[in-house]
Each structure stands twice: as structure tokens, then as C-alpha cells.
A and B are shown apart, each in its own frame.
Chain A
Amino acid sequence: MGKIIKVSGPLVVAEGLADAGMADVVLVGAQKLRGEILTMTGDRASIQVYEETAGLGPGAEVVTTGSPLSVELGPGLLDNIYDGIQRPLEEIRDICGDTLTRGIDIPALNRQKLWEFKPVAEVGASVSGGDIIGTVQETSAIEHRIMVPHGVTGTIQSIEQGAFKVTDVVAKIKSADGKVTEVTMMQKWGVRKGRPYKHKNLPEVPLQSGQRVIDTLFPLAKGGTAAVPGPFGSGKTVVQHALAKWSDVDVVVYIGCGERGNEMTDVLMEFPELTDPKTGEPLMKRTCLIANTSDMPVAAREASIYTGITIAEYYRDMGYDVAIIADSTSRWAEALREMSGRLEEMPGEEGYPAYLSSRLAQFYERAGSIECVCSDDNPRSGSLTAIGAVSPPGGDTSEPVSQATLRIVKVFWGLDASLARARHFPAINWLNSYSLYLDNLQGWYDENLGEQFLANRAKTVSLLQEESSLQEIVKLVGQDSLSPEDRLTLETAKMIREDYLQQNAFVDIDSFSSYDRQAKMLAMILQFDQLARTALGAGTDMKKILAVSSKARIARAKTVEEDCYQDEYAGIAANITAELKALAAGGDAE
């Protein structure tokens, strides 16, 4: 047993901990506050404590639990909200009211609740780590697959069926040397170590988010990584919420890391009301929330990211597509900086520790599209997509967290304050954002949306690029100096911006666009552009072209109801062709 010798904020130094190992979880003081060992010198350990340390002083006892910071994995994770070290917040509220008192020790998974376990493996079957032996309907949306713990191999000696608690033994596995392992529905896993997989694949399927600017211009692949940096008020949280709502994945882990409490409340109240377009079930049924808001202890904020990604990996191992959304990684980095400062480590850039970028890289690298660990006769694959918000001070992405993130992630959605001020949402800047997955995804696009889609995408990007250089000229000498072709470019680019890229997250029909809708809408705008150019070439007046009724119909295309959009879009396309061909032929548009 150790004794405290120093307390400085969330950092506690204790001596007499020769029996403890690095990164062990320890219980500090009479209230048994949980902490984690960061460094050891002789029998002296520096400990980061996950709760407020007021009232701790030298002499107080420190006991090691002998195990690293771990999470409990099993049914009951979804449709639930945890703090940064996986304590169930709803249950804490039942016990100690509206505020978080210290030293609460409640197991993450409810020990009383009964789950209906259905075996899928038979007695006598030989199994190894990762094999599915049974299932539990965890929520109406997700079937929880109970896997053999890693490192266990043998034949099933017995397997149960019926209602069990997470700690009840549901199967016994006898290994070759006669050792019997009892398997429960719950496993534990240390958060700082990624869960194993057989091998990683290149991500080749897009993660459909229903957000046009993302899916069309800067797509993310399932198993990929993305960052969303932006100053305050640029709509970071709205983008993150939209991704959590509409991404076509099976499970979403949403981490509120050092952000506003009301944002988590918003998710908690809104998600049970929203329906997942894929399963028709409430979105909350596929969501696990990790909330370590900005007023909660800073050390637990550091842990929250790892807690979240370990839970996400666990569902990935069941063969699901999982997305983890972390808002915001900058607050996580600040927690790291605070602990580093208290440890009196030599600071790197802006006071951040020198290991900031390697820690960030380790986090993002736990994403990927993988083959799950299991016996070869029943292979399955899963994916884990990581999306992190970054909150650069003053919106300036030259700071260390943004830069370290950009070196790792493959997709960058740069939010722009000036777009947000002009009420253009999502305020993703199309000139500096990028996605490096386009090549990987080409096969999927060509197969599912036709080869025209990527061609249209390229055309869109170049029109927007051209617009920005033309705008420079307009600012200097006015629009009148442009040729009719250039003015048409400006018009088309404006249509792309206003009628396509702008998307209102608060209007039901507009908040989600399927890929089919996106492809058709974009094709319409480009068809307009192409035919208008022909008409211009034939000498038609610009004003006449811009006045055609089909242009106004394009503007309203995004609000067409889901059940009739195909007919309406076909109608608009025919309308564009008819009107503009007539103009080109010198006839009247009517």
C-alpha cells in the first residue's frame, strides 16, 4: 500500500507502490478516487486522478488494482451514456442526483439486467478467440454477438440458452490441455491497447453521410479517418451531429470530449426521437455516448477518447461497420498538455507534450477496414471509421493539434467562418478541403453510380475553382468585364453552391440526401451548364437563359419529397433539355 506525498491538481505523487505496474489503475484516498499511474521512479509513482482531488493530502492511502484502465464490453453499451472512464451517467443520476459527486463506483454494465442469450455454436464444436458462440438482441437495432475471448482455444464443453446476467457463465470451453475456461457475456479490455484483427484492408466503400458536400466532393471511406477543424460558430457540432445521425454504419460511438453539456443533452433527447433510415429504429438504439464535458475532471477527458474507441473496436470485431465521432480532439490534447505540464515534462510546441503527434496518430490508426479475428471457416469483416473535430484557437489551423492531425487523416473538411457568417451551411470550404480516398473509392462509384459520377464531380470541382479566380477579377473591375462564358461559369458555380452544397440540417427532407439523389441533382446542374453553353454559342442572350423555368425548378429540387423525387428529377432534366435546346435553336423558351 502506498502513501501520497504530493498533490498538485489532478496529479498525485505517491510512494510505497513497488507492487504496482506502469499504467495500473489505483484507488486514491479514503474516497477511493480512481487514477492511473503515469510514471514510476523506484517505488514512487505519479498518478493522474480521474476525479477532482480537493481534500487529498500527504499521507492518504493509495492502493493499486493491479490492472490497467479497462472497459467492460458486453450487452448494454448501446442506448447508454457513460463518462470518460465508463461510469453509467443515468445510473449515477439515480443514485446521487443532478451533480457528479466523487468516488462513485458503479459497474459500467448493469449486473442485474437479464439478457436473452441464444447459442449459435454447439457443444463439441472447436472454437478459438473471436469466434461467435451466441447472440443477444441488445437493442431493437443491433444484435450483440458474444465472442470467445482472445487467447482462448478449445472445444465447447457446455453452452447455455436463456436469460442471463452479464456475469453469468454462458459457455465452458475446454482447451487441449484440459483447462476449462468459463465464458460470460462480458469481457474486459485495456483501453490503451487496440483490439487485435487478422489484417487490414484498404477502405474501398464510401461512408454515406447523406451530406452532399461530403459525399460528393470530399467522401470518407468506411474504415477511414477524417478531421473537421473550424473556429467556434462555424457549425462543427452540427456537422458532427449530422454524421452521427445519417452515416450508413451499424453502430455509432459519440464522444463529447471537453465540450458543452447541453450538446450531449441535445443528443440524448433528440436521438431517441429520430429514425435510422437504414433500420427504421430510433437512432439511439445504435448509439453509445461518452460524455466528459468541459466541467468534468480533465484527466478523465484524456481517457474518454480511448474508452470510446475500445468500445467501437469491440463492435467492429462482431463484424459491424462502426463510426467513432470525437468532439473535440483539441480538448483531449489540452488535457494531455495539462498533465504533461504538471509532470514537469519538457514541452514541445505551444506547451503541448512532444508525444502529442504520436498519441494522435495512435488513436487514428486504430481505425480501419479489417478482417476480424476468428477461425478461418467463418470469416467476417468489420470497419471502424474515426472522425475527429478540431477546435483551433482563433480558427488558425497552423497550431500543433491541427497540424499533427492533418498529417494523419486522409479527409479534411475545413470549416470556414466567413461561410458560416453568410449562413452557408455546412460551412465546409470547397477550396481547401480534401479527400484522399477518391482513388480507392473509384471502383465503388463506377459500379454503383456509373462512371459519369466521378466525371461530374471533377467538373464541379473545376467550376468552383474557376469561380474563385473569376471572383478576384470581378472584385477589381466589376462583372461587366467578363465574357458571357465566364458569367455563365459564375452562374453555374452559384447554382452548385446554393442549390447543391448548401444543405439545411434542420429541414427534414433536406437533412439527408441519398447517393442516387445526389448524383441526379448534380447531373441536372451540369446538364444545365452544358446546354446553356451551347445556347450561348448560338448567340442567345444571357438573360433569357437565366430566366428559364427549369432553373428555378433545380433550386427547389432539394426539398422534393423522398417518394416522388425520381419522377420530379426526370421531369426537370427533360424540362432543361427542352427549354435550352429551344433557345439554342433560336426559338422561344415558352
Chain B
Amino acid sequence: MIKEYQTIREVSGPLMIVKGVDNVTYDELAEIELSNGEHRRCKVLEVNGSDAVVQLFESSAGINLAESKVRFLGHGMRLGVSEDMLGRVFDGMGRPIDGGPEILAEKYIDVNGLPMNPAARNYPSEFIQTGVSAIDGLNTLVRGQKLPIFSGSGLPHAQLAAQIARQAKVRGTDSSFAVCFAAVGITFEESEYFVREFKRTGAIDRTVLFTNLANDPAVERIATPRMCLTAAEYLAFEKNMHVLVIITDITNYAEALREVSAARKEVPGRRGYPGYLYTDLATMYERAGRRRGSEGSITMIPILTMPEDDLTHPIPDLTGYITEGQIILSRELYLKNVMPPVDVSSSLSRLKDKGIGEGKTREDHSGTMNQLFAAYSAGKDARELATILGESALSDVDKLYAKFAEQFEDAYVGQGFDSDRSIEETLDIGWKLLSILPVTELKRIKTEHIDKYLPKAE
């Protein structure tokens, strides 16, 4: 029997204290009924004797302490899942907002999920072709990887994410794939951009969208990514789909978490974020992966904007410690109109070594990748030297390197948001660029690959 309590004693920010409760458990979901009949959801953060500290997911405006009622529902926050979710749009708490019917849930799953047994993970090693050279060639994405995009305000991360969602495929397979998209505290315009992109390409039928916009309650943002991941886990590990999860923007999520932490008067960690930010982020990011008992996979691309482009800010910093690499966007390249402005030198994919090479991409991939990294870095150094001491100070080889760096940014990175390159095209462009340099400089590539792939001088 569900009891109702009319004993709200205190509401402050997103927190509420309910007195005299009985049989309430930690992390239990509750519902508040306002005097006008409106329902709002909340969850238990702490129970102390007969007092419960409850966190609201919605605004506290209009809650009348004397007349509002609280009902504890006897379970944690759950999401009703079914394959019919594909193609639908939900709000940040998982309620349909596209005017369609309610989802007839096949089952209800706790949104917090369960940790994956490390012994049950399957190491990600299948190459995903995103059609973006800077990713495929140099920071290769594999199925089951979590690879965030570190962006800055005003940089085109949405376009890049949409491009990846549109173009990503594992070659030689036609297994069913789906996109789970969570908009966390972003603007209507950004969210609408994604919706239109998905509609334009027809991907919308394979997409589950959860939207919490900038004007939606901030604390709801704590639930939104978990809703999205729960849907993704269901599709991936129960329906054997390959799911691409895009969550944008993690910075807004972390801020919501900070708001609740501050309201609880917890000892703050760096920059006021709670000390458990790492663990909290990890329980989301680690839900990506592959399992030995299932065909499906979750590949995750969280997007976050680095405040002031600062990589050492706690959000990108802690994210980088959990995720398997990062794609960093560069303001400098953006201003040069190199699109997508991927800063290849500071970007990294930790899982690339297992996903490339013969049988996966091509035998020369690893060698050319290292050579391109080294050459681009030498080229940038040469360019820098030229700005200080003048071009004449460069040796002949350095001049070639500087030329290489220019063309590399132009031709290799700056492919635009509409071009979809096969991995062979990407590798061939790499070779063409490397042919700018004297063959003796190509120390990181095997000689037989040079003989086989280096374009012959005309």
C-alpha cells in the first residue's frame, strides 16, 4: 500500500525534507502532488530515521508545504523500454513529447544500470569508418569505444557529431544500428539542428531522442543521460543492435550535479564540483562497451565544451581520465576555416591500435599514421620558426615540412562537413601529402609499403 505524506518541512533549491516517513529507502523514486493536481518527480538522497532528504527533478515553484502530498513509489527511477522507442522524442525524464502515444513498455529498467563485470567485457576492436579523415586515419574510432569531443563555445562540435552519426558504419556488415541522443541543457536551436539532420538523412527512424533544453529544469539533467543510456543498453544488449550514443553537453550535466551538491552543503572539490564527480561521470561513461554475451555494442560520443578552452578544467580533465581518448577541436584551425577543426596532435584514440592494420583497415595504416603525426608536428615547428626568424632561416627540408603542414590541414583535415571518405581515400590522401617530403624522411614507414603505396613522381 502506498502511503501519502503531507509532511514536507523544508524546500530549498532542488532539495526537500519530508518528515515522519516510514519504509522509505535510499534512491527511491517519489512523486509530489501539488494542490492544483500537478505531479512532479523526485528521488530520495538520504534517509535518516524518519526524515527523508529528497531531490526534485523539476522546479520547486508552487510547492505548498502544507498542502502538497508526497508519495514514495517503492522503486528507483525506471524507464519503460521497447523497440517502439526508435523514432520517438522524449523529454529529459523519458516522457514522450512528440505528440505520439505512450510507449507500451516491454519492461521497466532502473536507469542507474548495473556495473559491467570487467571479466564480461569484450575488447573493442572493430573499425568504425566515420568518413572523417582526421578520425579514421589518425584517431580511429572502434565499436564500443567512448570517445568524447572536447570543444569550446562557438566551435562546430554539433556539425562534427552529426557528421559522424550520419556517416558511421562498420564496413562489410549490415547489422542493425541505432542512435540514442541526449540533449542535456542545450538550446532549442542546437537540439533542432540535430533533429533536422536526423530527419534529413532518414536516420530519425533509427533514433531515440531525449531532450532537456536550456530552459528545462536543471536538476532534470542528472536523469537525462541515464535515460538515454538505459535505452541504449536495452537496444544494444537485449536487441543486439549497434548503438551510437551522443550526449551533449556534459558540461551542463556537471553543473546540475554541482547545484545539487552545493544545496546539500557537501565539501566541494575543485572549482566547486563535488568530489565524486569522477565516479559519477564514470558510471555513465563506463556503460559504453561490448559484452561477451551479446552481439550488440554501445559506442559513445559525449560532447563537452571546455570552459575557456581550458583542458585542465575538472570536466574535461576527469572525462579524459575515464574515456578512451578524446577528439579536441581547435579554435586556431576554426579561424583558418579548416573544417572540421580537429586538432589531430592533441587528440587521441587509445583503442586505435587494435582497430587498424591488415584485415581491418589496410596494412600501411599504422606506419603512415605515425609518419603523418611526426611530419605534421615537425611542420608546425618549422612554421613557428619561420614566423620568428623568417622563412629564409629554414633549411630546404624544413621548408618542405612547412608546406606539408599547410597542405595537411587543408586537404587532410579540412574536408568539410559533407564529404564522406572511405578509409582507402583517407590513406591515399595521406600518401599524396607524404610525397611532398623526401623519401629519406619517411623513417616510420616500412620500405615495402613505401614501394607499394607512395605515388610515383611524374
Residues of chain A touching chain B, judged by Cβ–Cβ distance below 8 Å, are: 5-9, 13, 52-59, 81, 89-90, 92-93, 97-101, 231-233, 256, 258, 260-262, 264-266, 268-269, 291, 293-298, 331, 334-335, 337-338, 341, 347, 350-351, 391, 393-396, 421-423, 478, 506
Contact = CB atoms under 8 A, between A and B. Distances in A.
Contacts of B348: 233
A256 B322 CA distance: 13
Given A258-B282, A260-B324, A265-B118, 20 more contacts: A7-B47, A9-B46, A54-B76, A89-B118, A99-B115, A99-B117, A260-B322, A261-B118, A264-B119, A265-B122, A294-B285, A295-B286, A331-B278, A393-B314, A393-B317, A396-B312, A421-B345, A422-B377, A423-B374, A478-B389
A338 B237 CA distance: 32
B312 to A, nearest CB: 3
A32 to B, nearest CB: 16
11 contacts: A5-B49, A6-B49, A52-B112, A57-B24, A93-B117, A97-B293, A233-B325, A293-B286, A338-B279, A423-B370, A423-B374
Given A7-B47, A89-B118, A341 B267 contact: yes
The interface centre, meaning the residue of B119, B313, B370, B374 with most chain A CB atoms within 10 A of its CB, is B119
B95 interface: no
A395 B317 CA distance: 9
B276 interface: yes
A319 to B, nearest CB: 30
Given A8-B46, A99-B114, A294 B278 contact: yes
Contacts of B118: 81, 89, 256, 261, 264-265, 268, 291, 293
B283 interface: yes
Nearest to A335: B279
Contacts of B321: 232, 391
Interface string B266-307: 111110000110110011011101011110000000000000
Given A89-B118, A260-B286, A53 B276 contact: no
B317 A394 contact: yes
B121 A294 contact: no
A5 B26 CA distance: 11
Interface string B342-367: 00011010010100000000000000
Range for the number of chain B residues in contact with chain A: 35 or more
A261 B317 contact: no
A55 B346 contact: no
Nearest 7 CB-CB pairs, A to B?
A394-B312, A294-B282, A57-B25, A54-B27, A295-B286, A99-B114, A232-B320
A100 B317 contact: no
B348 to A, nearest CB: 5
B23 interface: yes
Interface in B90-128: 110, 112-124
B276 A334 contact: yes
A98 B377 contact: no
Contact of A295 (B50, B287, B311, B313): B287
Contacts of A56: 25-26
A260 B279 CA distance: 11
A529 B113 CA distance: 61
A54 B317 contact: no
A57 B119 contact: no
A351 B115 contact: no
The interface centre, meaning the residue of B49, B117, B282 with most chain A CB atoms within 10 A of its CB, is B117
A241 B250 CA distance: 30
A265 B50 contact: no
Contacts of A422: 377
B48 interface: yes
Nearest to A475: B388
Contact of B76 (A55, A90, A391, A396): A55
A6 B44 CA distance: 12
Given A261-B286, A295-B116, A53 B26 contact: yes
A555 to B, nearest CB: 9
B81 to A, nearest CB: 15
Nearest to A15: B49
A294 B312 contact: no
B393 interface: yes
Contact of A347 (B123, B267, B377): B267
The interface centre, meaning the residue of A256, A293, A421 with most chain B CB atoms within 10 A of its CB, is A293
B162 interface: no
Contacts of B377: 421-423
The interface centre, meaning the residue of A13, A90, A265, A422 with most chain B CB atoms within 10 A of its CB, is A265
Contacts of A295: 115-116, 282-283, 286-287
A8 B26 contact: yes
A98 B294 contact: yes
Contact of A478 (B28, B122, B393): B393
B453 interface: no
Contacts of A269: 123
Nearest to A347: B267
Contacts of B345: 421
A46 to B, nearest CB: 12
Given A98-B237, A393-B317, A90 B322 contact: no
Nearest to B266: A341
Contacts of B285: 294
B205 to A, nearest CB: 28
Contacts of A5: 48-49
A7 B321 CA distance: 30
B382 to A, nearest CB: 14
Contact of A98 (B110, B117, B278, B370): B117
B168 interface: no
Contacts of A335: 279
Contact of A506 (B237, B287, B317, B353): B353
Interface string B20-61: 000111111000000000000000011111100000000000
Given A99-B117, A331-B278, A396-B312, A294 B286 contact: yes
Nearest to B76: A54
Contacts of B25: 7, 54-57
